[in-house]
C-alpha cells in the first residue's frame, strides 16, 4: 500500500481490544491497517529459558515502562499517583504480561447509579454484551466451569478449570468454614489442547509471557486469524497524532516508523485501542484550531475519571507445603462474597478476593508483593525454609469509583524517544476505596486464618498494581458528560472510535480484559453493520 493510499479502517494498538476489532473487521471484508508501536515478541525471548529468569521481572521484563525503558516504551510521569500504571507495547500488548484471570463484569456493574446512587450507569448492559462475551471466550479459549451463582448462566467453557491443587483446596477450606462464596476462576489459559494451541504445562510465571501459547495473549489468538483474513499490521509504528480533515472528520494518523521517518496513514475510519493512558495521551496531543484542548475533547473529559482498581495483598504463611509453584501464577479461586453494596460496611460498592499461587524462589526471599524480606544472618536459611512453598496470597481488588480529579494529561516537559509529549498521571486513593480495602484486608485475614494460616502479612496498597487502565474516554449518551456514544463513536468526531479500557464508565471489582474485548467486538460489529 502506498503511503498516500486510504484504507477503510485504521486501528491504533495491537493489544487485547485492537486485535479483536481488527479480526472482526477483516472477517467482514473491510480493508484494515493496524499500527503498533511495539513489535512481535518471539516466545524464545521470554525469560523462562534463562537461569536468571526471575531477575528479568525487575528489569527488562518489568511490567512498568518506567523500569523497562525499552525503545518502544514511552515514559510516564507518575510522581503524582499513588499507583504506578503498568503496560506493555507489543503485538498482543499487555496480554503478553497478564496472568489471564478472565472474569466478566456482572450485570449489576452496568447499573451502579440506578442501584447505589453513585457514579453513572453504562448506556449498554450485560445482555447486550453477552453474545460478544461468548464469542470472545471462543476466540481466546477459557478454562473454567459453569454454574457460578454470582453470574447469569454462561456458555460452556472451552476447557476444564485450572486444578485447585493443594493451595487452592486449602483456601477453599477457609472460605467454606466461613460460609463464603468462592468459585474456580475463569482463566484464559488452556487446560486442554484447543484451536491449534497447546495446553498449559504449569511452568508458573505467566506474567513473563507464555512460551507454549497456552495463555491467550492476542498474538497467538486473534492476530494469526486477522492476518490470514487480509488485515495489515505495521509494527514499530509510533503514532504522533490523529489527523483531522476540513470536514471535521478524522483523516488518519501521522506516525514514525522504526527508522524514525514520519508517515501518514489515511483512513475513512479510525479506531483507537491504545489503553486508558495511551488513548487520552494521543487525543490530547492531537490538538488543532478546531480542537485546541485535544481531539474529541469538547466535554473536557478526555483523560479524566481514571480508574486503576486498587489492590491490597494479604499473604498467609502455612506449616504445610502448598505446591503453589505448580500452575498459572494469578489464577486459582475468585470469591465475590463482598461484591455488592452493603452500607453497614462503611463504603459503597465492593470488592473481590483473587487467590494467587505461591511465591517463586527469589520472591520468597524478598517478600514479593508484601515486601517483608527474609532476614540475613545465621537464621536466614531457617527463615527461608519456613516460607518457601508455604505461602498463599489473597488479593483484594476493589471497585474504584470514577473521579474527575484522577486523570491523565500531558506532561509539560517529558517526551518519548521521538519527542512526542508524554503522559502525566494524577491519582489519589479515595476515602471510599481506602475503607473498602481495609474491610477486605480484615476479611482476607479471617479467611486465611480459617484456612489454617499461622501468620498473616499485609501490603495495604500495591503501588506497582496499575494493571487496569480505565475510564479516561468514557461511554455515554450525553456529549457533555462522556467522550464516546453507546456505539463507541466520539461525540465530536463521528468516524473516530475508541475501544480500549478508557471507554469504561465504571470499573467493577474484577479484572477488565474480558469486558474490554466484549465491548470492542460489540463496537466492531456496529462498524460492520453501518457499512452494509
pLDDT of residue 245: 95
Question: CA torsion sign, 13 to 14 to 16 to 22?
Answer: positive
Instruction: Give the burial class of 519: count Cβ atoms within 10 A of its Cβ; 0-12 exposed, 13-18 middle, 19 or more buried.
Output: buried
Which cell numbers hold the place of 472?
Answer: 479516561
pLDDT of residue 260: 96
pLDDT of residue 1: 38
pLDDT of residue 326: 83
* CB 414, CB 280: distance < 8 Å: no
Which cell numbers hold the place of 451?
Answer: 484456612
Task: Return the bridge partners of 71, or none.
Answer: none
Q: Tens digits of per-residue pLDDT, 416-437?
A: 999 999 999 999 999 999 999 9
- How far is the C-alpha of 486 from the C-alpha of 261, rounded, in Å? 37
Across 17-45, average pLDDT = 97
- Residue 430 CA, chain-centre distance (Å), reads 21
Across 157-184, average pLDDT = 96
DSSP symbols for 220-237? TTHHHHHHHTT-EEEES-
**Percent of the chain with pLDDT strictly greater than 90:** 94
354, 468, 451, 358: which is closest to 85 by C-alpha? 468
Across 53-69, average pLDDT = 94
Q: Model's pTM, two decimal places?
A: 0.97
Q: Tens digits of per-residue pLDDT, 343-359?
A: 999 999 999 999 988 88
pLDDT of residue 233: 98
pLDDT of residue 265: 97
Query: Does residue 127 surpass a pLDDT of 50?
Result: yes
- How far is the C-alpha of 458 from the C-alpha of 442, rounded, in Å? 10
Query: Does residue 3 surpass a pLDDT of 80?
Result: no
- The CA-atom distances, in angstroms, between 8 and each of 32, 33, 166, 313 are 6, 8, 52, 46
Q: Tens digits of per-residue pLDDT, 293-348?
A: 999 999 999 999 999 999 999 999 999 999 988 888 877 899 999 999 999 999 99
In whole numbers, what is the pLDDT of the chain averaged over residues? 96
Structural domains of the chain, with CATH? 6-41+55-531 (3.50.50.60)
Rounded (5°) CA angle 404-409-415: 165
Give the confidence band of 5 by pLDDT, cuts at 50, 70, 90: confident
Give the confidence band of 176 by pLDDT, cuts at 50, 70, 90: very high
Q: Tens digits of per-residue pLDDT, 436-488?
A: 999 999 999 999 999 999 999 999 999 998 999 999 999 999 999 999 999 99
Phi, psi angles (nearest 5°) of residue 376: -80, 170
* CB 392, CB 445: distance < 8 Å: no
Query: Does residue 2 surpass a pLDDT of 50?
Result: no
Q: Tens digits of per-residue pLDDT, 240-287?
A: 999 999 999 999 999 999 999 999 999 999 999 999 999 999 999 999
Give the confidence band of 101 by pLDDT, cuts at 50, 70, 90: very high
Amino acid at each position: 500500500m502506498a503511503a498516500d493510499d486510504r484504507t477503510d479502517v485504521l486501528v491504533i494498538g495491537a493489544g487485547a481490544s485492537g486485535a479483536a476489532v481488527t479480526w472482526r473487521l477483516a472477517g467482514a471484508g473491510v480493508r484494515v491497517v493496524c499500527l503498533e508501536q511495539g513489535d512481535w515478541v518471539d516466545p524464545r525471548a521470554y525469560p523462562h529459558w534463562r537461569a536468571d529468569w526471575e531477575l528479568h521481572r525487575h528489569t527488562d521484563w518489568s511490567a512498568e515502562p518506567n523500569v523497562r525503558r525499552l525503545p518502544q516504551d514511552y515514559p510516564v510521569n507518575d510522581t503524582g499517583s499513588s499507583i504506578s500504571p503498568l503496560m506493555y507495547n507489543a503485538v498482543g500488548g499487555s496480554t503478553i504480561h497478564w496472568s489471564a484471570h478472565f472474569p466478566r463484569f456482572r450485570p449489576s456493574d452496568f447499573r451502579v447509579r440506578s442501584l447505589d446512587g453513585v457514579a453513572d450507569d453504562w448506556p449498554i448492559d450485560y445482555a447486550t454484551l453477552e453474545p460478544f462475551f461468548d464469542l470472545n471466550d471462543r476466540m481466546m479459549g477459557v478454562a473454567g466451569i459453569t454454574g457460578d451463582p454470582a453470574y447469569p448462566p454462561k456458555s460452556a467453557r472451552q476447557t476444564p478449570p485450572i486444578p485447585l491443587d493443594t493451595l487452592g483446596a486449602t483456601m477453599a477450606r477457609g472460605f467454606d468454614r466461613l460460609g463464603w462464596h468462592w468459585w474456580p476462576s475463569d482463566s484464559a489459559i488452556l487446560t486442554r489442547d484447543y484451536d491449534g494451541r497447546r495446553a498449559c504445562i504449569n511452568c508458573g510465571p505467566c506474567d513473563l509471557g507464555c512460551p507454549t501459547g497456552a495463555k491467550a495473549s492476542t498474538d497467538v489468538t486473534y492476530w494469526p486469524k486477522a492476518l490470514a483474513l487480509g488485515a495489515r499490521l505495521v509494527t514499530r509504528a509510533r503514532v504522533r497524532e490523529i489527523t483531522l480533515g476540513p470536514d471535521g472528520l478524522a483523516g488518519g494518523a501521522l506516525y514514525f516508523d522504526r527508522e524514525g521517518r514520519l508517515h501518514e496513514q489515511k483512513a475513512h475510519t479510525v479506531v483507537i485501542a491504545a489503553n486508558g493512558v495511551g488513548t487520552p495521551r494521543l487525543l490530547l496531543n492531537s490538538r488543532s484550531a478546531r480542537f485546541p484542548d485535544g481531539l474529541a475533547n469538547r466535554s473536557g473529559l478526555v483523560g479524566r475519571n481514571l480508574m486503576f482498581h486498587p489492590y491490597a495483598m494479604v499473604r498467609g504463611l502455612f506449616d504445610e507445603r502448598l505446591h503453589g509453584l505448580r500452575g498459572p501464577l494469578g489464577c486459582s479461586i475468585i470469591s465475590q462474597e463482598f461484591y455488592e453494596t452493603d452500607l453497614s460496611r462503611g463504603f459503597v460498592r465492593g470488592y473481590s478476593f483473587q487467590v494467587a499461587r505461591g511465591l517463586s524462589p527469589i520472591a520468597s526471599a524478598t517478600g514479593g508483593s508484601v515486601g517483608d524480606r527474609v532476614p540475613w544472618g545465621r537464621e536466614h536459611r531457617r527463615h527461608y525454609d519456613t516460607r518457601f512453598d508455604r505461602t498463599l496470597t489473597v488479593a483484594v481488588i476493589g471497585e474504584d469509583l470514577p473521579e474527575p480529579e484522577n486523570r491523565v494529561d500531558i506532561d509539560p516537559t517529558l517526551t518519548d524517544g521521538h519527542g512526542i509529549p508524554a503522559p502525566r498521571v494524577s491519582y489519589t486513593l479515595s476515602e471510599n476505596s481506602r475503607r473498602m480495602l481495609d474491610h477486605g484486608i480484615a476479611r482476607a485475614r479471617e479467611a486465611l486464618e480459617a484456612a489454617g494460616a499461622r501468620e498473616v502479612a499485609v501490603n495495604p496498597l500495591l503501588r506497582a498494581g496499575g494493571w487496569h487502565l480505565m475510564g479516561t474516554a468514557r461511554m455515554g449518551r450525553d456529549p457533555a458528560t462522556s467522550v464516546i456514544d453507546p456505539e463507541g463513536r466520539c461525540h465530536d468526531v463521528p468516524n473516530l472510535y475508541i475501544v480500549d479500557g478508557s471507554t469504561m464508565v465504571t470499573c467493577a471489582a474484577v479484572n477488565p480484559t474480558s469486558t474490554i474485548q466484549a465491548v470492542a467486538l460489540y463496537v466492531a460489529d456496529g462498524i460492520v453493520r453501518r457499512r452494509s
